[in-house]
Chains A and B, each alone.
Chain A
Amino acid sequence: MTYFARWTGAAVKRLGGAGTTALLWQAGRWRFAVFCVLAVLQGLTPATAIAASGVLISGLPTDPARATLGLALFGASLLTGTVLAAILDHQAAVLDGRVARTIHDTVAHATLRTDVELLVDPRTTGELGALAEFERVDGFVGTVTALRELLRQRATGVGAAVVLATFAWWAPLVMFLGWRGLSFGVRRWLDHGMNLGARQGEQALRRARYLRGLAVDSPAAKEVRVFGLAGWLVPLYRDSYLAALEVLWEGRRLGMRTVLAATGGVVLAHLIVLTAIAQTTTTPAEIVVYAQAVLSTSALGYVFGAEVPLARARKVAKLARALADRLATSPPPAKKTANAIELKNVHFTYPGRDDEVLAGVNLTVPKGQSLAIVGENGAGKSTLVHLLCGTYRPQRGEIAMPGEVSAIVQRFTRFELSLRDNIGFGAGDETVHRALERAGGLSLLDDLPHGWDTVLSSSHPDGRDLSGGQWQKVALARALLAVETGAEVLIMDEPSANLDVLAEEELFARFSELAGEITTILVSHRLASVRHADRIVVIADGRIAEDGTHAELMAANGRYAAMYSLQAERFAEKEWSHA
């Protein structure tokens, strides 16, 4: 049985290419092997029907018994073919689904676990873009149907060739050459087209599509209207997409000479064999059988509707595998644990950039302290947060954490899942309930038609999207749940940008309740909230410029004092002038 499977595998490999085979095998195993055999059998039924019709005709007009036998054989082959077709139809649908799933899983498995640095690498974005381009064509569903069609056709062709061989040994050879003469060329041309498609998908097409997204999708909608950008963006999209397509068309163009040569070969082969048949055969049965066999050898040629999807499947399989291999990373080194957060001489530069964002940060945060990080835009605050979260690793220096980290990141994810899953991701109902309660978000449930099971997206029937402030509570609950299950550090990175003042105050109040229990780190520009932290550090030029309590930093009269005064003055000045 193993031998049989290996043989099937090898046969399919020739037809579909190595990457596809591995993928198909992974998707279906024995089901797939049996499927292939049935597809070949179905492909052979036309040949048996041709042979049967020969028997039938040869009984004419004198041997009715023989003719009836021929009719019976003819009928049997048709019926067998019919039953096989029904089985194969269903199985193809099943296997097609599994192949698509295997591709998706391969990619998702890799992207979910790889280093973030690798994930944001332009090369990865490009390859993911190319895969998305291919997915748009057929959703990765259609490979097995195409393979079945090819197997069936090839079997039909081989069957016809065998029948034809009984006429003359050279006849199938001539037909084979006639049909295959340029098939290799066609296949090369196809693969070339797909490679070109992938390359364009990685860059030019993806770029053009991005521009179209700017014009038609919601994030830029208001600015597109106020600044009148339609007239600039749309032609830019039109021309760049067209330019990308033209490269594709140029590369896919089949020269007229190629087409004529292909046709010439086919015509010549038909002419030679058909003339020979007409000249040497005498009985109608022979003519019918051989001429039909000649016509059926077309199945050895280029199979329309099957070869293009298969070429695409080959490319997709190759892309997905290569991507998964490249993204596969060794698990990160065991985190050094300490009693406090300890950063020693930490340096960080973004890949591909020259300037150091962090240039020697030294910081020790004892357990239970509440720390605030402030600084100008671009000073390195968010980068520091990324390093503390372990998203990036420093090029130089050491980071030790007292335990797991939980965080409310600036752009938290709005999962199109239920409220329960958006917080708990499979955690127990009680835990999730408590987390939302601690985040002060139980009132959310009043607005949700299905309570905890409401999907938080307006594109779902019965779903409900939340406002910015409500989402923030979900993100807070998410972070608090992690604290409850053992995280020792809670980081909050500019959480109040989308909140109105009341919601912001409420959020900070919740946050400060936690201080003392665990280590908390707050990154914010709202200095009225920051001042209550145990300790404040100011980041400037990639280093820690100031470090102390609010009172100490105000007394030091440095950057922090300047920033704080600017914000406070707007009120103080008023109170003063009002008084």
Chain B
Amino acid sequence: MREIRVLVATAWRVDRRLTLAMIAEPLGNTLVLMSGLWLAMLTNGVIRHDPRQVVIGIAALVLGAGLGWQLDLSASQWRMVLGEKVAHAFDTEIARLCAELPTLDHFERSEYQNQLELLRQRQGLLGNSLSALAVTVKAICAGLTVLILLVVAHPAMLALVLLALPALLITRTQQRWRATAEDASALPGRTARHLRTVAQDRDAAVEIRLFGLADYVERRIDTLWRAQRAPIEKTERKVALASLAQQLLYVTGVIAAVGFVLHQAIRGTSAPGDVVLAIYLSQQVQTAVIWPIQAVTGFGRTLHTVRRYLWLVDHARAAAPTGHLPAPERIVEGIRLENVSFRYPGTEKWVLRNVSLTIPAGGALAVVGENGAGKTTLVKLLTRMYEPTEGRITVDGTELADLDAEQWRERLAAAFQDFARFELTVQHAVGLGDLPHLDDTAHVRAALGRASADVLPQEAQLGTSWGGADLSTGQWQRLALARGLARTTPLVRFFDEPTASLDAFTEDALFGSMARATDGANGMITILVTHRFSTVRSADLIVVLADGGVAELGSHRDLLARDGRYARLYRSQADAFAG
């Protein structure tokens, strides 16, 4: 019951008043449910000329109606607001947990992706679960009230409960049917949603118009929509038929029950008021039995989402990096990889295998190799997005895994080929690279200068959907570079294919500034990942990765002399310029 505890505790934390109101609401609602009793009292009072019963009956009816209305009006408001508050509290927590997860497992491995997809993409899910809890409590209270009244009216009427029981079975079956139908419609539904997103996408718009895909996409959406709805509609027909059969049985029972009490009244063993109560109640018994069951089942489903959330909490706790040693302020000797191997947990394939190399302080390492050779994984290990499966990485002799991960990352800088397009102001999009200087205009101006990225005023908003500027891929990449160059004295800088979309001048200027910064006094190490060999030669050390292992290692000169893989690829690129 950790799920319910977390749910209620969160509600209590975000708004005590509303939480109490939600708990109190079902109690107020019972007064409304007792209308049958007051009606009977009024009837008996009028017949027996008992003004006391008449007054109580009317007063209770009036109060019930007024209170019911007010409760409905207010409670729907409370539920909405509290639901939104709770949802927001959970969503923030989910965002924090996801963003702070050190690894990228949840993006790169399908089993985690499935677990998190729902939590990540659909906000507000957990707000509904609180609502579901309130409805469940309300339904149970309502059920109990009606059952008690039933006993008061005539114990024999409890037999109606028996007739309502098949509904339990049928309801459960119907829910199973619906779940199956939902499963069957999930896949076409997802694809249809994808295509609808594509239909609105500005990048896709170009191809859609060029290749005349509008009709095709529309047709596909329509087909997928049918495929999505068909199992649902078929199931709904089955559900309706099952309900009908069960309802007819029950209604027959109600008629019999009313007939029974009527018979008693004609014989004089029951008061007319009892007949009234019987008529009124008999129609409520079914709801009183089914509603709580439905509510509990529905609540069970939403608890599933809470369970996912708790899984994330546990997962984040387990994944939290363990090291607590302070990160060094400078690198004196260098970074050493000793027999480092890596494979994703639970998989067989080694992404990196027995990589050993030493990067001297103040040095620059170039990592080359084809796509899939393990270049990016090396970067992920050094930035501690993953820990090595075997072997160890040391910084001046201290194991990297023992360092405080957050502190270590504060001393890194990076620019990636698949950079993010932060649609913020230019100032913030670049300042993010050095958070303590986020709003420091001079600092950001300097970073923009280093990346030749001063194309827009710093206060300009980026992104057309916010009314901001539209940039070309190359311009976006320059901003990403400026972000990577914002920290002025990092210990390690990573450039993962940072110039793919840059023009020749910018590329050249960048290598200039890279070379200059390498003279840093703190022993800064530069790691350049690329498949463009022209940019590699200035590195002190070049490692050629192939199939996760070190194929060649040495300086440009060494590797050319060896006349192996590196030399071959280098010459083929050089030849493209020759002649």
Contact sample, A vs B, 20 pairs, CB 8 Å cutoff? A74-B279, A86-B244, A86-B247, A122-B465, A125-B465, A136-B123, A214-B422, A217-B120, A231-B435, A233-B95, A241-B91, A266-B66, A274-B42, A287-B43, A375-B503, A407-B206, A425-B211, A494-B473, A570-B534, A571-B533
Other-chain residue from A94, A136, A282 in contact with B122 (beta carbon distance below 8 A): A136
Q: Which of chain B's residues 343-375 have a Cβ closer than 8 Å to chain A?
A: 370-372
Interface assignment of B532: CB less than 8 Å from any CB of chain A: yes
Residues of B within 8 A of A274 (CB): 42, 58, 61-62
Residues of B within 8 A of A219 (CB): 418, 420-421
Interface assignment of A352: CB less than 8 Å from any CB of chain B: yes
Q: Which of chain A's residues 480-533 have a Cβ closer than 8 Å to chain B?
A: 482, 494, 496-503, 505, 525, 527-529
Binds B, one of A10-18, A101-109, A338-346: A101-109
Q: Are B577 and A567 in contact (CB under 8 A)?
A: yes
From residue B125, how far is it (CB to closest CB) to chain A in Å?
10
Residues of A within 8 A of B96 (CB): 215, 230, 234
Interface assignment of B9: CB less than 8 Å from any CB of chain A: no
Residues of B within 8 A of A228 (CB): 406, 409-410, 435
Question: In the bound complex, what is the Cα–Cα distance between A571 and B578 (angstroms)?
Answer: 9
Instruction: Digitize B521-557: 1 where CB-to-A-CB distance is under 8 Å, 0 elsewhere.
Output: 0000000000111110100000000000000000011
Q: Are A108 and B217 in contact (CB under 8 A)?
A: yes
Q: Are B532 and A501 in contact (CB under 8 A)?
A: yes
Considering only CB atoms, which chain A residue lies closest to B276 in the complex? A288
Binds B, one of A25-33, A55-63, A146-154, A439-447: A55-63
Question: In the bound complex, what is the Cα–Cα distance between A381 and B502 (angstroms)?
Answer: 13
Q: Are A112 and B218 in contact (CB under 8 A)?
A: yes
Residues of B within 8 A of A308 (CB): 76
Interface assignment of A406: CB less than 8 Å from any CB of chain B: yes
Interface size class of A (residues with CB under 8 A): 35 or more
Residues of B within 8 A of A237 (CB): 92, 95
Q: Are A259 and B65 in contact (CB under 8 A)?
A: no
Question: In the bound complex, what is the Cα–Cα distance between A121 and B415 (angstroms)?
Answer: 30
Instruction: Digitize B557-574: 1 where CB-to-A-CB distance is under 8 Å, 0 elsewhere.
Output: 100100000000110111
Considering only CB atoms, which chain B residue lies closest to A182 in the complex? B73
Q: Are A281 and B243 in contact (CB under 8 A)?
A: no
From residue A292, how far is it (CB to closest CB) to chain B in Å?
7
Question: In the bound complex, what is the Cα–Cα distance between A238 and B92 (angstroms)?
Answer: 6
Q: Are B248 and A82 in contact (CB under 8 A)?
A: yes
Question: In the bound complex, what is the Cα–Cα distance between A186 and B501 (angstroms)?
Answer: 57
Other-chain residue from A224, A245, A415 in contact with B198 (beta carbon distance below 8 A): A415
Question: In the bound complex, what is the Cα–Cα distance between A422 and B281 (angstroms)?
Answer: 61
Interface assignment of A295: CB less than 8 Å from any CB of chain B: yes
Interface assignment of A353: CB less than 8 Å from any CB of chain B: yes
Interface assignment of A397: CB less than 8 Å from any CB of chain B: no
Given A94-B236, A108-B218, A225-B383, 6 additional A-B pairs, CB 8 A: A108-B200, A233-B99, A267-B65, A376-B506, A378-B471, A409-B207
From residue A316, how far is it (CB to closest CB) to chain B in Å?
15
Q: Are A119 and B66 in contact (CB under 8 A)?
A: no
Question: In the bound complex, what is the Cα–Cα distance between A270 and B61 (angstroms)?
Answer: 8
With contacts A89-B240, A284-B272, A350-B470 known, is A227 near B262, CB below 8 A?
Answer: no
Considering only CB atoms, which chain B residue lies closest to A88 in the complex? B240
Q: Are B46 and A425 in contact (CB under 8 A)?
A: no
Question: In the bound complex, what is the Cα–Cα distance between A501 and B232 (angstroms)?
Answer: 50
Residues of A within 8 A of B117 (CB): 459
Considering only CB atoms, which chain B residue lies closest to A242 in the complex? B88
Question: In the bound complex, what is the Cα–Cα distance between A249 and B83 (angstroms)?
Answer: 12
Other-chain residue from B196, B265, B471 in contact with A104 (beta carbon distance below 8 A): B196
Q: Are A425 and B213 in contact (CB under 8 A)?
A: yes
Interface assignment of B417: CB less than 8 Å from any CB of chain A: yes
Q: Are A271 and B58 in contact (CB under 8 A)?
A: yes
Interface assignment of B52: CB less than 8 Å from any CB of chain A: no
Q: Are A128 and B266 in contact (CB under 8 A)?
A: no
Other-chain residue from A67, A78, A375, A498 in contact with B266 (beta carbon distance below 8 A): A67
From residue A553, how far is it (CB to closest CB) to chain B in Å?
13
Q: Are B537 and A570 in contact (CB under 8 A)?
A: yes
Other-chain residue from A295, A377, A575 in contact with B35 (beta carbon distance below 8 A): A295
Considering only CB atoms, which chain A residue lies closest to B236 in the complex? A93
Residues of A within 8 A of B569 (CB): 501
Q: Which of chain B's residues 433-458 have a Cβ closer than 8 Å to chain A?
A: 433-435, 438, 455
Instruction: Digitize B465-488: 1 where CB-to-A-CB distance is under 8 Å, 0 elsewhere.
Output: 111011111110110000100000
Q: Are B206 and A386 in contact (CB under 8 A)?
A: yes
Interface assignment of A458: CB less than 8 Å from any CB of chain B: yes
Interface assignment of B500: CB less than 8 Å from any CB of chain A: yes
Other-chain residue from B65, B247, B577 in contact with A572 (beta carbon distance below 8 A): B577
Interface assignment of A166: CB less than 8 Å from any CB of chain B: no
Interface assignment of A574: CB less than 8 Å from any CB of chain B: yes
Interface assignment of B24: CB less than 8 Å from any CB of chain A: no
Interface assignment of A7: CB less than 8 Å from any CB of chain B: no
Interface assignment of A254: CB less than 8 Å from any CB of chain B: yes
Binds B, one of A36-44, A205-213, A359-367: A205-213
Residues of B within 8 A of A505 (CB): 572, 576
Other-chain residue from A74, A93, A275, A376 in contact with B503 (beta carbon distance below 8 A): A376
From residue A574, how far is it (CB to closest CB) to chain B in Å?
5
With contacts A259-B73, A301-B69, A500-B371 known, is A222 near B259, CB below 8 A?
Answer: no
Q: B interface, by DSSP: helix, strand, loop or mixed?
A: helix
Q: Are A391 and B205 in contact (CB under 8 A)?
A: yes
From residue A267, how far is it (CB to closest CB) to chain B in Å?
4
Interface assignment of A547: CB less than 8 Å from any CB of chain B: no
Other-chain residue from A67, A381, A405, A498 in contact with B500 (beta carbon distance below 8 A): A498
Interface assignment of A291: CB less than 8 Å from any CB of chain B: yes
Instruction: Digitize A238-278: 1 where CB-to-B-CB distance is under 8 Å, 0 elsewhere.
Output: 10011001001100111000011011101100110011001
Question: In the bound complex, what is the Cα–Cα distance between A550 and B417 (angstroms)?
Answer: 29
Residues of B within 8 A of A302 (CB): 69, 72-73
With contacts A105-B222, A271-B58, A382-B472 known, is A525 near B501, CB below 8 A?
Answer: yes
Interface assignment of B251: CB less than 8 Å from any CB of chain A: yes
With contacts A67-B262, A93-B232, A270-B62 known, is A74 near B255, CB below 8 A?
Answer: yes
Residues of A within 8 A of B467 (CB): 122, 352
Instruction: Digitize A401-424: 1 where CB-to-B-CB distance is under 8 Å, 0 elsewhere.
Output: 000011101111101110001000
With contacts A71-B258, A378-B472 known, is A295 near B65, CB below 8 A?
Answer: yes
Q: Are B205 and A229 in contact (CB under 8 A)?
A: no
Q: Are A494 and B501 in contact (CB under 8 A)?
A: yes
Interface assignment of B208: CB less than 8 Å from any CB of chain A: yes
Residues of A within 8 A of B560 (CB): 578
Q: Are B275 and A60 in contact (CB under 8 A)?
A: yes
From residue B440, how far is it (CB to closest CB) to chain A in Å?
14
Q: Are A284 and B61 in contact (CB under 8 A)?
A: no
Residues of B within 8 A of A242 (CB): 88
Binds A, one of B102-110, B142-150, B162-170, B294-302: B102-110
Question: In the bound complex, what is the Cα–Cα distance between A209 and B291 (angstroms)?
Answer: 35
Residues of B within 8 A of A411 (CB): 203, 473
From residue B177, how far is it (CB to closest CB) to chain A in Å?
12
Q: Are A57 and B276 in contact (CB under 8 A)?
A: yes
Question: In the bound complex, what is the Cα–Cα distance between A86 and B244 (angstroms)?
Answer: 6
Residues of B within 8 A of A458 (CB): 110
Interface assignment of A334: CB less than 8 Å from any CB of chain B: no
Question: In the bound complex, what is the Cα–Cα distance between A376 and B452 (angstroms)?
Answer: 11
Considering only CB atoms, which chain A residue lies closest to B191 in the complex? A416
With contacts A209-B123, A216-B99, A575-B574 known, is A497 near B501, CB below 8 A?
Answer: yes
With contacts A97-B229, A122-B465, A415-B198 known, is A525 near B504, CB below 8 A?
Answer: yes
Question: In the bound complex, what is the Cα–Cα distance between A503 and B279 (angstroms)?
Answer: 80
With contacts A57-B276, A220-B420, A222-B416 known, is A391 near B58, CB below 8 A?
Answer: no
Q: Are B236 and A275 in contact (CB under 8 A)?
A: no
Interface assignment of A469: CB less than 8 Å from any CB of chain B: yes
Q: Are A281 and B423 in contact (CB under 8 A)?
A: no
Question: In the bound complex, what is the Cα–Cα distance between A55 and B556 (angstroms)?
Answer: 104
Q: Are A566 and B258 in contact (CB under 8 A)?
A: no
Among A89, A234, A287, residue most surrounded by chain B Cβ atoms (within 10 Å): A287
Question: In the bound complex, what is the Cα–Cα distance between A252 and B77 (angstroms)?
Answer: 8
With contacts A108-B221, A119-B202, A498-B417 known, is A89 near B243, CB below 8 A?
Answer: yes
